[in-house]
Structure 1
């Protein structure tokens, strides 16, 4: 008989690639992970791992069992959801949210949950969408708040469900005393953008190229509040979403872009977790919090 805890380790190894990464994600020691996988191999009666330089990789048997492990974990989650439905309003939900969602949408959603499900425990990690979606597949979190930029699509991963909760306008941001009105006028300026590999960076660079120039990215920073400060003090220009301005004055000059582009804000969870009342309640609160926010003015500009 296979033990589910050991199957989880194999599933994690298939996703994360190394024993050290599995150990870090699950708060085990690497030796414990190795010992448990060795026992799983004995239970299976076939070799699951083989050396790959200084690492290990899954054998054909290991890959087959890891696929079954994923299905076993999904079934366990569905069973837990049915049991939790007998006592709605309680439980634990682990949420990953990107920065501006964590700063803006999440506090309002937590206020709603405090009223609707006061016994519900919500744990939050601020993660970029790329990392959050990976951790969702790896079962490190139960719910993700992520973004998708216009014209860019994210990989559709099997076993996940997505729900759009709204759109967030993106505008050109310049220093308060700057009178530039288009991207093309900023071809010689210093730019601040998010790190390479992020959807936000890819989209911003494409906008500049479409305007006829390659941006001079002098500042590569994940924190959008730092973007705003660099722009406000005259050191850079950039592209900023409205969600950044949470009940505050925008100390930069914001200019509408052609076509009024918006990024899609969505939640994602595993299909096997959608029936869990705690996950459903958290998802509903996030959607309602974002909807309430969009009915209010999001910012004021300097005069």
Structure 2
């Protein structure tokens, strides 16, 4: 019989690509990972790994067994979820959230959980949406809060089940007193955007190009609170989702973009864990929290 713990290591290697990345994710030494995979190879009776320069890669047999490992791990999680339903233990829930959700949703969701599930331990880390979704698929986290911009769909991972929380508006942000009234008015301004390669950066750049100009991005920052401060101080303009403000009075003035676009906010879990009581409770709390954000639930906020 295959050892499920060793199968997980093989699955992790297929996801993360290197032994060192697996070791970092699981807090093991690379030598321990290598020893356990060597034992799995002996159990399988076929070569699972082969050298590739200074690294290793999965053989065809390794890829086949890794695919089976993913299904076995999902079945194991589904069995544990069913047992937890029969005798709830509220195992800790590890939550990966993007920054705007950390500001706008997490405090309210924790308020809800303090009332509904006061014994539930929730461990939260801030991760970019791309990383958070990967880590849930790789079993580094149980649940992720991520976003999807209009026209920019995210990769559909077979292991993950998504559920929409809602949508929030993305608007131009300028300093109070700024005379701009439209996107075209900002063609010669300094911009703050998220780093290259992110969905937010790609989407914002496309909006500017559709308006007939290439944005002068002088500030590439992942921290959205820094975006707000740069805009509020008049050093830049940007596009900021409403959730960043979490229902508080914006420090910037908002201007509607053409067609008033809204991004989708969603949660993602592994299919085998979706029925775990703790995960269901956290999802419900996040949905409640989203509905409680005044600007989101009202659908509009201060605009120019």
What's the TM-score once normalised by structure 2's chain length?
A: 0.96
Contact 2:103 2:245 in 1 (8 A): no
Distance in structure 2 (CA, Å) of the matches to 1:181 and 1:234:
15
- Deviation string for 1:112-152 (max 9, x for gaps)? 11111112111111001100000011011111111111111
Cα drift, residue 295 of structure 1: 3.7
Segment drifting more, 106-115 vs 5-14: 106-115
Q: How much has 1:177 moved relative to structure 2?
A: 1.9
Shift of 1:89: 6.2
For residues 62 and 148 of structure 1, the distance between their equivalents in structure 2, rounded to whole angstroms, comes to 33
What does 1:149-298 correspond to in 2, within 5 Å?
A: 149-293=149-293, 294-295=296-297
Deviation readout 1:187-223 (Å, 9 max, x if unpaired): 1111000011111001000000000001111000001
Q: Check whether the contact 1:249–1:299 (CA below 8 A) recurs between aligned residues.
A: no
CA contact (8 A) 1:246 1:299 kept: no
Q: Give the RMSD, CA atoms, in angstroms.
A: 1.6
Once residues 102 and 27 of structure 1 are traced to their aligned partners in structure 2, the CA distance between those partners, rounded to angstroms, is 25
- Count of equivalent residues: 302
Report the Cα offset of residue 87 of structure 1. Answer: 2.7
Tell me if structure 2 keeps the 8 A contact 1:91–1:119.
Answer: no
Does the 8 Å CA contact 2:168/2:299 hold for their aligned counterparts? Answer: no
Distance 1:202 1:270, change over 3 A: same
Query: Relative to 1, partners in 2 of residues 1:208 and 1:301: Cα closer, same or farther, differing over 3 Å?
Result: closer
Q: CA deviation at 1:248?
A: 3.1
**Contact 2:97 2:129 (C-alpha < 8 Å) held by counterparts:** yes
- When structure 1 is superposed on structure 2, of 52-61 and 243-252 the one drifting more is 243-252
| SS of residue paired to 2:91 | strand
Distance in 2 (CA, whole Å) between partners of 1:189 and 1:10 is 50
| 2:93 matches 1:99 | no
| Conserved? CA contact 1:144–1:269, under 8 Å | yes
Q: Which residue of 1 aligns with 2:112?
A: 112
In structure 1, stretches of 5+ residues that fail to align are none
Rounded to whole Å, the distance in 1 between the matches of 2:213 and 2:63 is: 46
> Secondary structure of 1:164's partner?
strand
Q: Which consecutive residues of structure 2, in runs of 5 or more, have no partner in the other structure?
A: none
8 Å Cα contact 2:109-2:286 kept in structure 1: yes
Contact residue 251 and residue 301 of structure 1 kept, 8 A: no
TM-score (norm 1): 0.96
Does the CA-based 8 Å contact 1:173-1:231 persist in structure 2?
Answer: yes
State the partner residue of 2:82.
82
For 2:255 and 2:168, the matched residues in 1 are separated by 15
Cα-to-partner distance string for 1:236-267 (whole Å, 9 max, x where unaligned) = 11001111113533222211112111111111
